[in-house]
Amino acid sequence: MGEKKYEGLPELVEELQKTCSSLKADIREFSQLTKASRDEMKTRSFLMRSFAQKDFESNTGMSLDEWVEFSERLLSRFENISTAVQRLNEVKSDPNRVPSSLNELRDAASPFLERYDLMVEALDRFANYMLDMPKKTESIPKPFRGFMGEEDRRRMVEEAPKAGEGIKKLMTELKTAKEQITDLYRFL
């Protein structure tokens, strides 16, 4: 690299590129989960849907439509960050072009970093809701159980905790991305 000032930058950029790539895939999966859950909710009977929507929203903090929007915004943010990281990777050996690329990354990452704590808190609520689904399934009032098929109950018990673990993994990757981005700021 032309200047000692940017020593270590190429390695950090490569790590962040890998993190962004993995994150985008996991955010897409999360987005698909939220859309599938929203669409499935629409197929339930009115009574069951009303009960489930209220329970979901009161425990996760948002409606399924809001979660779909949240996942789409998160994906868009990471596509922007990933693009900025790619540009930084392309110029990492040119000390004259690194500062403007770092500024571009800072601009792309600032919405994510500014809302990081709120995002993680919201995702944690969603993950815990999914992880607790087997217990919730058992606590469904008996009058409502008749409105829910055996397949729905099985899916809630088996698949919801897997989704919760996926959300926890996403949270860990978001933390890693935050740390890597923040670490790159020392080169500004």
pLDDT on residue 145: 64
pLDDT on residue 1: 42
First-to-last alpha carbon distance for the chain, in angstroms, is 16
Q: pLDDT tens digit string along 40-65? A: 888 887 877 888 899 999 999 999 99
| CB of 163 closer than 8 Å to CB of 33 | yes
Work out the number of other CB atoms within 10 angstroms of the CB of residue 162: 12
Q: pLDDT tens digit string along 94-116? A: 999 999 999 999 999 999 999 99
The helix/strand count (H/E) of the chain reads as 7, 0
Tokens of 79: 């596509």
Average pLDDT, the chain: 90
pLDDT on residue 79: 97
Residues of the chain with pLDDT under 50: 1-2
Q: Which long-range contacts (CB under 8 A, 24 or more apart) does 59-64 make?
A: 59/125, 59/129, 60/122, 60/125, 60/126, 60/129, 61/122, 61/125, 61/126, 62/122, 64/34, 64/37, 64/38
In sequence order, what are the residues at sequence separation of 6 or more whose Cβ sits closer than 8 angstroms to the Cβ of residue 135?
none
Please report the beta strands in the chain, taking only residues with DSSP state E, as ranges in sequence order: none
Distances (CA, A) of 15 to 20, 78, 105, 181: 9, 15, 14, 10
In sequence order, what are the residues at sequence separation of 6 or more whose Cβ sits closer than 8 angstroms to the Cβ of residue 97?
91
Task: Give which of 188, 132, 119, 187 is closest to 165, Cα–Cα.
Answer: 132
Distances (CA, A) of 117 to 17, 27, 114, 132, 181: 22, 17, 8, 22, 15
pTM to 2 decimal places: 0.88
pLDDT on residue 141: 67
Q: What are phi and psi of 92, to 5 degrees?
A: -60, -25
| CB of 40 closer than 8 Å to CB of 87 | no
pLDDT on residue 170: 97
Tokens of 30: 């999360």
